[in-house]
A and B are shown apart, each in its own frame.
Chain A
Amino acid sequence: MIKQLFPIRHVIGYLASLVLSAAALVVIYGDLSDAANMVVLLVTAIIQASLQLFVFMHIGESADTKKELYINIAYALFVGLITIFGTLFIFVWGWYA
């Protein structure tokens, strides 16, 4: 019964997300360079987000919408990232100083 209610995929996914969150703490307790810290944050965050998407949200489970869902998320990320980095490009990196 308990085994049935706690599928191994979910348990591993959960443990992995805990480990990744803990690993990210290295940026405040560790002694890495700023650039290395950003890499750590990016890598742990992206893996965790993917865990949610693929393990918990079952994005690929329905064969007749799989492709559309990937395009949907890809387009959303395209717009989101363009907004973030485009704006930083305008106001921070590319500002006329």
Chain B
Amino acid sequence: MDLEKFKVHGEPLIYGAMISIALATIGIIVGLTYFKKWGYLWREWLTTVDHKRIGVMYIIAALLMLFRGGVDALMMRLQTAAPEMKFLDAQHYNEVFTTHGLIMILFMAMPFIIGLMNVIIPLQIGARDVAFPRLNAISFWLFFMGAMLLNISFVVGGSPDAGWSAYFPLASIEFSPTVGNNYYSLALQISGIGTLMTGVNFIVTILKMRAPGMTLMKMPMFTWSVLITNIIIVFAFPVLTVALALMMFDRLFGSQFFTMANGGMDMLWANLFWVWGHPEVYIVILPAFGIYSEIIATFSKKNLYGYTSMVFSMVIISLLSFLVWAHHFYTMGQGVMVNSFFSITTMAIAVPTGVKIFNWLFTLRKGRISFTTPMLYTLAFIPIFTIGGVTGVMLAMASADYQYHNTMFLVAHFHYVLIPGAVFAVIAGFHYWFPKVFGFRLNDRIGKHAFWWIAISFNVTFFPMFFLGLMGMTRRMYTYSEESGFGPLNMLSFAGALGLAIGFVILVYNIYWSTRYAPRDTNGDPWDGRTLEWATHSPIPAYNFAVIPKVNSRDPYWESKQKNTPLYEDKITKIHLPNNTGKPFILGVIFFFLGFFLVFSMWIPAIVAGVGIIIMLAVMSFERDHGFYISAEEVAATEKKLRGETV
């Protein structure tokens, strides 16, 4: 076999990456062996079907990817910090901005959100698990293996280098002959299938497994946002599935979908990509809206203002999100009618979004606000996101867009939307729900230090880009001349990026510090919460609730605390739980190899892996696993222990 194609030739940086990956792998293996943790890892994590543990694994993976994507970002800002920089060459720069985008959207923002919803949704609706716990594990492992497949591209064969949107003809085999974009099509495909399964799972969970009394209009706002998000996932991801499959056919089998000759149509890729891509934006932003709604209500000690309008604005956003995709390519050559139509639908989205902003402001009004770390992120979100939204309306005007299409203005705009709209939200949610999972709060003082570093540096990094864009600097250019005058603002932006890095390091230090020194919570309700997730213990027992709560308001736990009415009326009975299983993990591993072999056009091994997948599915179909029961006595004993009573 020709080993040459696996190699990546490059610079010291790539070899450095190879060495660090190898060292990290060896370190993990040695560590696990030395501390005899292999069995623990397998039993408690790799084979788990518990939504809480799966959620934690999603979040850990997302944090790792945040740092991978963050390093990419630092490298880009360093390369463009001054004119004619020689830190990265053009090819390397292309790979870095491509993987930065892919990782941050698909392997950081989405899994972070899916992780939070895994942990929280069953608790918020008073359920013992998701509807299909095994499918949930399969979803996670498919996502994880997709992420790993994309990450090894950096050192095995070469990364995708045609931008995260991978426009044709650039992404075609003719203009991108390395395996990079094969990785793109397969890694995204594998994790996309996982995400689609998550969508199905959570729709069924939320619609069918709510605690008695929790009608749709009594669901917590985060649950609502997750329901809508998963509906978008289920109907948008199939479009990506097809687009990626066609890309794979073009690159591996020589079909003519997006080619320049033989009747192919390169622009069709851009079209399909954004039919999925625009709803994708709302997939990462709607749950953020849900998180903020929870945090604002909790820390203002008020119920959410305008609940019904919140719900309807999300439903409207979900429908409109499918009607705006062409605004990503106004300059492609379609007619005035088309651009006008998509221009109007795009601006229309600002209306329901504005409704939500006002609802949050009215919730804050006259509230007893406590400025905790999650609340600070939330309060920073509102003005920063509004800047992002307003510049979005500027971009929505098709004729004006011709002036700043694909300039740094756009880059500034979507970072102003996505960082407060997704990153701040997941960090806020992380701080907010951390004590629920681990039983102690992250230190507030250190958390606030991190917040100020992140919030200020964010603006220092991205605000100059608006002006760079208006000055004519296009996105994705790896260097520029001194005469262009782009230098000073880019240097400022680089300084901001360093500040962001410091902020994230402080955030991680906070996790370390709090794990060691933070006081432990005893009652499971550190923030004086309103919804059901605070009504059980922290850390959460495997069965979530010893008795399924009865709900009769939108803030059931708050209500029960205020009026001293009991949430739990039934007696403890035996509880049914699913068994752990290693099959989802194995299935994920086989998918990884299938993807890898297809990337390198190794047909025979790929067929073997494909057959392996069918065999695994058959094995799972024939298996009858009825789970197990925890007896009522055992539940009662666990409950006593968690309350701190002696058994």
Binding site for B on A (CB under 8 A): 68, 75-76, 78-79, 82-83, 86-87, 89-91, 94-97
Q: Are B268 and A82 in contact (CB under 8 A)?
A: no
Interface flags, B318-359, vs A, CB<8A=1, else 0: 010011011000000111111001000000000000000000
CB distance from A26 to the nearest CB of B (A): 30
B252, CB-defined interface residue at 8 Å: no
Tell me what chain B mostly uses at the interface: helix, strand, loop, or mixed: helix
* Sample of 16 further A-B pairs with CB below 8 A, known A75-B231, A96-B335: A68-B207, A75-B235, A78-B322, A79-B236, A89-B338, A89-B341, A90-B271, A90-B334, A91-B334, A94-B334, A94-B338, A95-B334, A95-B335, A95-B338, A96-B334, A97-B335
Contacts of A95 in B (CB 8 A): 333-335, 338
Cα A79 to Cα B326 with chains together (Å): 15
CB distance from B223 to the nearest CB of A (A): 16
Name the residue in A68, A78, A91, A97 with the highest tally of chain B Cβ atoms < 10 Å from its Cβ. Answer: A91
Known contacts A91-B267, A91-B271: A79-B322 contact under CB 8 Å: yes
B589, CB-defined interface residue at 8 Å: no
Contacts of B275 in A (CB 8 A): 83, 86-87
Contacts of A75 in B (CB 8 A): 231, 235
Closest to B340 in A: A94
Contacts of B236 in A (CB 8 A): 79
Contacts of A90 in B (CB 8 A): 271, 326, 334, 338
B265, CB-defined interface residue at 8 Å: yes
Contacts of A68 in B (CB 8 A): 207
Contacts of A89 in B (CB 8 A): 338, 341
The 5 lowest CB-CB distance pairs between A and B, nearest first, are A94-B338, A96-B335, A79-B235, A94-B335, A94-B337
B239, CB-defined interface residue at 8 Å: yes
Partner of A78, one of B207, B239, B319, B336: B319
Q: Are A76 and B235 in contact (CB under 8 A)?
A: yes
Q: List 29 A-B contacts (CB under 8 A).
A: A68-B207, A75-B235, A76-B235, A78-B319, A79-B239, A79-B322, A82-B322, A82-B323, A83-B239, A83-B275, A86-B323, A87-B268, A87-B271, A87-B272, A87-B275, A89-B341, A90-B326, A90-B334, A91-B267, A91-B271, A91-B334, A94-B335, A94-B341, A95-B333, A95-B335, A95-B338, A96-B333, A96-B336, A97-B335
Cα A75 to Cα B239 with chains together (Å): 14
Q: Are A91 and B322 in contact (CB under 8 A)?
A: no
Q: Are A91 and B265 in contact (CB under 8 A)?
A: yes
Name the residue in A78, A83, A90, A94 with the highest tally of chain B Cβ atoms < 10 Å from its Cβ. Answer: A90
Closest to A64 in B: B208
Cα A91 to Cα B207 with chains together (Å): 38
Contacts of A96 in B (CB 8 A): 333-336
Cα A94 to Cα B398 with chains together (Å): 15
